[in-house]
Structure 1
Amino acid sequence: MGVKRPWNMVDMPVYSLATYDGDKVNMNICTYVTAISMKPKMFMVAIDYVTKTFENLEKDSNVILQILHQNHQSLVRLLGKKSGKNVNKHEKLTEKGLIGKWNGHQVLIDACGYLSLQLKGRQDVGGDHELFWFEVQKSKTNSEDNILMFQDLIRAGIIL
């Protein structure tokens, strides 16, 4: 393995942002996520402009940020390498029996944690992602063990 780029050296949790278009859920993979405030608890998430996630955020500003478990590593290619504009992720996840409910929303079953978020602001920063910041409305921790981490994706060859 060669030398990593500086931004690939750090380790952080892998998240999936669940966004909604009516009764259909779309999920992506997010590694550009950070807490930005303690009180109120707020998170910032960078979202690619050309994604179904971005489209859904234009319609519904209530989302669920999911902290993925290592068991979800096999979903990273579906959720992160395929566009919800071309692939019905809701249908694929439902077929696999991976959709559950939390706080009235469809989510991945067995995530380490869920954060129900309400959009508070957004900023175009001139790159390929727009920054969105959200206030945590409710949260649930299922497990502090076996969180899927960014370095796990590098070791698996999912991220180069």
Structure 2
Amino acid sequence: MGVKRPWNIVDMPVYSMATYDDDQVNMNICTYVTAISMKPKLFMVAIDYSTKTYKNLEQGSNVILQILHQDHSKLVPLLGKTSGTRVSKQEKLVSKGLITNWNGHQVLNGACGFLALEQRGRKNVGGDHELFWFEVVKSKTNSENNILMFQDLIQAGIIL
């Protein structure tokens, strides 16, 4: 294996953002996530313009940021490499028994944590992603162990 690009040498948690279109949940993979304020607790997330997640956010969707468990690595091709505009990720997740409810919303079974977010702003900064910032309005920690990390995806060959 060759030398990694500088942005691939850092290690950070892998998240999935659940957004909603009426009663249909869509989930993606987010690695561009950063806490930006303590009080209030704010997170900044970069969202690809071409995604169902972006479309849902434009419609004012509720948002649950999920901290993924290592067991979720097998879901990265579905959540991160498949378009929610072409495939119902909800149907695939439900058929595998991977959906549960938290805070009145469908989320992934086994996630290490959940953050219910309210959109506070957004900024087009150029490039293929738009920056959104959110306030945490409710959270739950399920486990502090075996969090799926960015380097886990590289080691598994999911991210090159």
What is the TM-score when the length of structure 2 is the normalising length? Answer: 0.99
1:15-30 counterparts in 2 under 5 A?
Answer: 15-30=15-30
Q: Name the residue aligned to 2:12.
A: 12
Number of residue pairs matched by the alignment? 160
Kindly indicate whether the alpha-carbon contact (under 8 Å) linking 1:19 and 1:60 is maintained by their aligned counterparts in 2: no
Please state whether the residue corresponding to 1:92 is helix, strand or coil: helix
Cα deviation 1:74-112 (Å, max 9, x = unaligned): 000000011101111010000001010000000001100
Distance apart, 1:60 and its partner CA: 2.6
Q: Name the residue aligned to 2:38.
A: 38
Kindly indicate whether the alpha-carbon contact (under 8 Å) linking 2:21 and 2:61 is maintained by their aligned counterparts in 1: no
Question: Which whole-Å CA distance do the structure 2 matches of 1:25 and 1:62 have between them?
Answer: 10
Distance apart, 1:157 and its partner CA: 0.3
Please state whether the residue corresponding to 2:50 is helix, strand or coil: coil
Letter aligned with residue 84 of structure 2: G
Q: Name the residue aligned to 1:58.
A: 58
1:47-86 counterparts in 2 under 5 A?
Answer: 47-86=47-86
Please state whether the residue corresponding to 1:144 is helix, strand or coil: coil
Question: Which whole-Å CA distance do the structure 2 matches of 1:59 and 1:122 have between them?
Answer: 13
In structure 1, the gaps of 5 or more residues are none
Q: Name the residue aligned to 1:151.
A: 151
Question: Which whole-Å CA distance do the structure 2 matches of 1:64 and 1:135 have between them?
Answer: 11
Distance apart, 1:61 and its partner CA: 3.6
Is 2:121 the partner of 1:135? no
Identity of matched residues, %: 78
Kindly indicate whether the alpha-carbon contact (under 8 Å) linking 1:16 and 1:66 is maintained by their aligned counterparts in 2: yes
Question: Which whole-Å CA distance do the structure 2 matches of 1:85 and 1:58 have between them?
Answer: 14
Distance apart, 1:11 and its partner CA: 0.2
Please state whether the residue corresponding to 1:132 is helix, strand or coil: strand
Please state whether the residue corresponding to 2:90 is helix, strand or coil: helix
In structure 2, the gaps of 5 or more residues are none
Question: Which whole-Å CA distance do the structure 2 matches of 1:61 and 1:93 have between them?
Answer: 20
Kindly indicate whether the alpha-carbon contact (under 8 Å) linking 2:48 and 2:128 is maintained by their aligned counterparts in 1: yes
Please state whether the residue corresponding to 2:12 is helix, strand or coil: coil
Distance apart, 1:62 and its partner CA: 2.0
Letter aligned with residue 12 of structure 2: M
Q: Which runs of 4+ in 1 moved over 3 A?
A: none
Distance apart, 1:59 and its partner CA: 1.3
Question: Which whole-Å CA distance do the structure 2 matches of 1:24 and 1:106 have between them?
Answer: 9
Letter aligned with residue 43 of structure 1: F
What is the TM-score when the length of structure 1 is the normalising length? Answer: 0.99
